[in-house]
Amino acid sequence: MRILYSHRIRSRDGQGVHLDAMVDALRAAGHVVRVVGPAGYDTAALGDESRGLARLRRLLPAWAQALAEIAYAVPATWRLHRAAGQFRPEVIYERANLYHVAGRLVARARGVPLLLEVNAPLAEERARFGGLGLPRLSAWIERFAWRGADRVLPVTAVLAGRIAAAGVPAGRITVVPNGIHPDEFPDPAPPPPETGRPLVLGFVGFVRDWHGLDKALHGIAAWRGATPLSLVVVGDGPARPGLEQLARDLGIAERVHFTGLAARQEVPRLVAGFDIALQPAAVPYASPLKVFEYMAAARAIVAPDQPNLREVLDQGETALLFDPADPAGFWAAVARLAQDGALRARLGTAARAEVLRRDLTWAGNARRVVAIAEAERAARRPEGRAAGLATGSAA
CATH assignment at residue 165:
3.40.50.2000
* 220 pLDDT higher than 90: yes
Q: Which domain holds residue 108?
A: 2-179+361-394
The confidence band for 92, taking pLDDT boundaries of 50, 70 and 90, is very high
220 CA to centre of own chain: 28
Do both 41 and 163 map to the same domain? yes
Select from 129, 48, 64, 135 the least CA-distant residue to 98.
135
- 274 and 285 together in one domain: yes
Q: What is the pLDDT of residue 257?
A: 97
At 13, the pLDDT band (50, 70, 90 cuts) reads confident
Q: How many CA atoms lie within 13 A of 92 on its CB side?
A: 33
Banded pLDDT at 90 (limits 50, 70, 90): very high
d(CA 343, CA 29): 38
Three-state DSSP at 304 gives strand
pTM, two decimal places? 0.90
State the total domains in the chain.
Answer: 2
- Write down the pLDDT at residue 122: 94
Q: Distance between the two ends of the chain, CA-based, in angstroms? A: 33
Nearest CA-CA partner of 309 in 321, 298, 297: 321
How much is the average pLDDT of 360-370? 97
On whether both 271 and 344 belong to a single domain, the answer is yes
Task: Taking residues 158-171, report their average pLDDT.
Answer: 97
- CA dihedral sign, ordered 314, 318, 320, 322: negative
Same domain, 126 and 141: yes
Return the sign of the alpha-carbon dihedral for residues 310, 371, 153, 73. positive
For the chain, what is the mean pLDDT?
Answer: 91
DSSP 3-state assignment of 91?
strand
Mean pLDDT of 224-241: 94
Band (170; pLDDT cuts 50, 70, 90): very high
pLDDT at 221 over 60: yes
User: For residues 27 and 191, which has the higher predicted lDDT (pLDDT)?
Assistant: 27
Segment 144-160 mean pLDDT: 98
Q: How far apart are CA 360 and CA 68, in angstroms?
A: 38
Please report the pLDDT score of residue 10 as a whole number: 81
CA distance 387 to 84: 29
pLDDT at 87: 97
Burial class (CB in 10 A: 0-12, 13-18, 19+), 201: buried
How large is the average pLDDT for residues 224-244? 95
Higher pLDDT, 191 or 269: 269
Phi, psi at 41, each rounded to 5°? -65, -45
| Percent of the chain that is helix, strand, coil (3-state, to 5) | 50, 15, 35
Residues 187 and 117 in one domain: no
Please report, rounded to a whole number, the percentage of residues in the chain having pLDDT higher than 90: 78
Neighbour-count burial of 188, counting CB atoms closer than 10 A to its CB (0-12 exposed, 13-18 middle, 19+ buried): middle
Are 125 and 189 part of one and the same domain? no
Give pLDDT tens digits for 103-151. Answer: 999 999 999 999 999 999 999 998 887 678 899 999 999 999 999 999 9
51 pLDDT more than 60: no
Residues 313 and 381 placed together within one structural domain of the fold: no
Residues in the chain, overall count: 395
Q: Which one has a higher pLDDT value, 214 or 189?
A: 214
Eight-class DSSP state of 2: E
| Furthest C-alpha separation in the chain | 73
The predicted model gives 39-45 an average pLDDT of 67
Compute, in degrees rounded to 10, the torsion defined by CA atoms 19, 21, 25, 28: 110
Structure confidence at residue 106 (pLDDT): 98
Same domain, 192 and 174: no
Q: Are residues 171 and 276 in the same domain?
A: no
Q: pLDDT class for 43, splitting at 50, 70, 90?
A: low
Evaluate if residue 168 carries a pLDDT over 80. Answer: yes
- Side by side, the strands of the sheet bearing 32-36 are 32-36, 2-6, 91-95, 114-118, 151-154
The rounded distance, in Å, linking the Cα atoms of 369 and 21 is: 13
- Whether 380 and 272 map to the same domain: the answer is no
**pLDDT of 49:** 55
Same domain, 231 and 352: yes
Answer for the pair 103, 94: CB distance below 8 angstroms, yes or no.
yes
Work out the percent of the chain whose per-residue pLDDT is above 70. Answer: 90
Residue 88: the pLDDT is: 97
> Do 89 and 102 share a domain, yes or no?
yes
The answer, yes or no, to whether residue 54 has pLDDT greater than 80, is: no
pLDDT at 242 over 80: yes
The answer to whether residue 191 scores a pLDDT higher than 70 is: no
Instruction: Provide the pLDDT for residue 44.
Output: 59
Region 317-323: mean pLDDT is: 98
